[in-house]
Structure 1
Amino acid sequence: MAANLGDGTPEADGGSVRHIPVLLREVLTSLQPKAGEVILDGTFGAGGYTSAILEAGANVIALDRDPSAIAGGQALVKANGGRLSLIHSQFSDLDQHAPEGGLDGVVLDIGVSSMQIDEAERGFSFQRNGPLDMRMSASGVSAADVVNRAKVGDLIRIFGFLGEENHAGRIARAIEKHRAEELFTTTRDLVNLIEKVNPRRAKDKIHPATRVFQALRIFVNDELGELAQALFAAERSLKPGGRLVIVSFHSLEDRIVKKFFADRSGKATGSRHMPLVEERPVVFETIGKPMIGATEEEAEINPRARSAKLRAGLRTSAPAGSTNMSIFDLPDLASLVTMGA
């Protein structure tokens, strides 16, 4: 998902930052990988976490939905003599790849890879002209499909909720007018329109296209739904004493992780759709502080770390909880889009 810069800028939608594993020391402290353990890295990317876990002596099952990441990690697979399994899969399906005895740990870095940003042909960056795509798995509905075919009301909700874009209505209506004459095919097509609708002012810290690109990427890849399902899958897959470590970069992502751990803490929490009053079994206990951020030193070296938040939980022996998505209080945006508007 979006890797935000400290000023609220989702770096993942803009410029290039060399991939450096975020909060690596804190991740390892929370995960505590040991020889003989099996740790699942659900977001392999460039292999930063996986490499460190292997060095600590644990075996790793690593997943990535991006086929290019799988191809790029084959040298690491060969170098580790069977201790690393690298699988092309969405992390929402991680329980399908867990061993029968369960996992000792799961780690997820919920950020878009800098490798994806750097490839103009993937269409993630508004600073690089390329096809308006944004699909991490290279399949399914693209950003161009959404921009060219979704109803205006759907675009407004996507830009407003997933991008927290204040000018969502104005941009969506301008898109509707433009596509009636000419369809959007490249990232530059969309950036040019947004810049006309919402020109950048000298005091603006982020580019006016930042939030729209973020919203489209999150929507196209169902990133919030994937994260929610991955938390449920990790809960099912971890053995008692197993550790779940999540690094997120955006308030929407962190809110999902925070609500999950709160719900699994045994406290009487709920949503407006399903109020809960009774206490429930403790499925996860908090590891360390409820939330850990980057140090000033790391943020200075790696701007991607500025908005990173780490939350971690220790799996108890209690049975897995309900997989009802209502605990996250998310709108069903996936059902909004009616193609062919």
Structure 2
Amino acid sequence: MTDFPGRAADRHVPVLRDRIVALLAPALQAPGSVAVDATLGMGGHTEALLRECPQATVIGIDRDTEALRLAGERLAGFGERFVPARAVYDEILQVLQAQGRRQVDAVLFDLGVSSLQLDEEERGFAYRHDAPLDMRMDQTGGPTAADVLNTYDARELERILREYGEERFARRIANAVVREREREPFDRSERLVDLLRSAIPAASQRTGGHPAKRTFQALRIEVNRELEAWRSALPDAIRALAVGGRVAVLSYHSLEDRITKQTLAAGARSTAPPGLPVELPEHAPYLRLLTRGGEEPTAEEIETNPRAASARLRAAERTRSTEATS
């Protein structure tokens, strides 16, 4: 892996950093309070939380060993208040168990591909650079994007392109991939980008952005099981919250944001049957929404950090215990 120069703090601009700190800090003022940054990356959000909340400890989770190394260097000055953990965010309960904890006071998720992964060309996430078709966030094992392209049948390729990439021309692309791989298996991104330029009509390319954007997104989500992991990770994080604890989620894809919206809305809604004269305690909402819809970055932030453009932020507070956490 390329060892890029410069500190993580110089290479990484955390999206909606100040707003996230404002949402989570009220839950992190007591001595011994604990937050989980479940998508640590290069540690920008964690650094801001540790500075703003001097009584708090942050457990930083990431599957990427390079991210953990860079974040560890960045956060070394906070000593034992930063606790790194190599794991996937849907393993949050296992991480907490290993730390001897059942509950925490705040959880942050910053979903999608990190700045570190986008910037390191050989990881294969960025379609503007020719690189091996890898796209694994954890490079120690598991199938690569090349494996997906070279082994999935046309119907399955079409499904992931349509569902995860919201690609209008999914069938055309899938069929082209299957034809082309019979001549030679895919191994580098440039060849895939060339195929996409040929498969997607020119008119759509003029109005729909880079022709590879949606396909690369779909492959990344499939390779890293992102939506599957997210469907279990957010409910587990909510279960781990103490009463008064808060969760914040930054998503960059409509499917991720939809899962977030539905999960938080379900917790903020009474489950009392219609017509019940008195709401029983077990039917009361266990979450209070802290944001109205998905909050977006300001135009000024997007100008400074273009990767923030598609971000949506949602947050909620735990208002009561449930059977799972009592």
TM over 0.5: yes
Q: Find the residue that maps to 1:215 and give its secondary structure.
A: helix
RMSD after superposition: 2.1
Within the candidate set 149, 155, 166, 2:168 is matched to 166
Are the counterparts in 2 of residues 92 and 230 from structure 1 also a CA contact under 8 Å? yes
2-side partners of 1:96 and 1:288: how far apart? Answer: 29
How do 1:217-228 residues align onto structure 2 when only pairs under 5 Å count?
Answer: 217-228=220-231
Task: Tell me the distance in 1 between the aligned counterparts of 2:43 and 2:284.
Answer: 35
Aligned counterpart in structure 2 of residue 31 of structure 1, from 16, 19, 24: 24
For residues 117 and 148 of structure 1, the distance between their equivalents in structure 2, rounded to whole angstroms, comes to 23
Among candidates 310, 313, 318, match of residue 313 of structure 2: 310
**Number of residue equivalences:** 297
Would you say the 8 A contact 1:64–1:90 is kept in 2?
yes
Q: CA deviation at 1:18?
A: 5.3
Measured at CA, do residues 268 and 240 of structure 1 come closer, stay the same or move farther in structure 2, by a change above 3 Å? closer
Contact 1:282 1:318 in 2 (8 A): no
Q: Which moved more, 1:196-205 or 1:257-266?
A: 196-205
Residues 128 and 83 (structure 1 numbering): CA distance in 2 closer, same or farther, change over 3 Å? same
TM-score by length of 1: 0.82
Alignment of 1:135-174 (within 5 A): 135-138=136-139, 139-174=141-176
Please say if residues 235 and 320 of structure 1, whose CA atoms lie closer than 8 Å, have aligned partners that are also in contact. no
Distance 1:283 1:59 in 2: 25
- TM-score normalised by the chain length of structure 2: 0.86
1:96 is displaced (CA, Å) by 1.8
Correspondence for 2:260 = 257
CA distance in 2 between partners of 1:320 and 1:29 (Å): 29
Structure 1: give runs of 5+ residues left out of the alignment: 1-16, 270-278, 322-341
CA contact (8 A) 2:290 2:316 kept: yes
Match of 2:200 among 194, 198, 209: 198
Shift of 1:267: 4.2
> What per-residue deviation string (whole Å, max 9, x for no partner) do you get for residues 15-66 of structure 1?
xx95311111110111113253111000111111000011011211000011
Q: Distance in 2 between matches of 1:320 and 1:45?
A: 33
**Would you say the 8 A contact 1:61–1:85 is kept in 2?**
yes
Equivalence for 1:42: 38
2:289 counterpart of 1:283: no
Deviations 1:252-277 (A, max 9, x none): 111000000111123469xxxxxxxx
For structure 2, the 5+ residue unaligned runs are 1-9, 273-281
Q: Percent identity?
A: 40
The aligned counterpart of 2:128 is 127
What residue in structure 2 maps to residue 115 of structure 1? Answer: 116
User: Hey, which bits of structure 1, 4+ residues long, moved more than 2 A?
Assistant: 33-36, 97-101, 199-205, 266-269, 288-291
- Tell me, in whole angstroms, the C-alpha distance in 2 between the residues paired with 1:314 and 1:82: 26
Cα distance in 1, alignment partners of residues 196 and 271 from structure 2: 44
Does residue 67 of structure 1 match 2:65? yes
Distance 1:119 1:199, change over 3 A: farther
Greater C-alpha radius of gyration: 2
- Give the whole-Å Cα distance in 2 for the aligned partners of 1:59 and 1:100: 13
Query: Are the counterparts in 2 of residues 63 and 91 from structure 1 also a CA contact under 8 Å?
Result: yes
